[in-house]
Amino acid sequence: MMERILRGIAGFVILLSLILSRLHTENWLILTAFMGLNLLQSSFTNWCPTMSILRALGIDKNKEV
């Protein structure tokens, strides 16, 4: 369940930053780059800061939907 939520958050942030870069300023693409780097480092370390936040909110990693 945690992985699904994590992918949903990542996708939402990327799409939001792309929309904001078109509507407001291209500086929002920095958020897209940050999210991409975060996903890349998590593929090597198997750790993501958002996972710690989700655990603190009570989201169980092993619980199925």
How do residues 7-57 score in pLDDT, each as one tens digit? 999 999 999 999 999 999 999 999 999 999 999 999 999 888 899 899 999
Domain boundaries, the chain: 2-56
Residue labelled with tokens 């991409």:
36
**Residue 11: predicted pLDDT:** 95
**Residue 63: predicted pLDDT:** 65
For 4, 10, 30, 40, the CA distances from 60, given in Å and listed in that order, are 12, 18, 31, 23
**Residue 62: predicted pLDDT:** 72
**Side-chain-side CA neighbours of residue 15 (13 Å):** 6
* pTM over cut 0.85: no
**Residue 59: predicted pLDDT:** 87
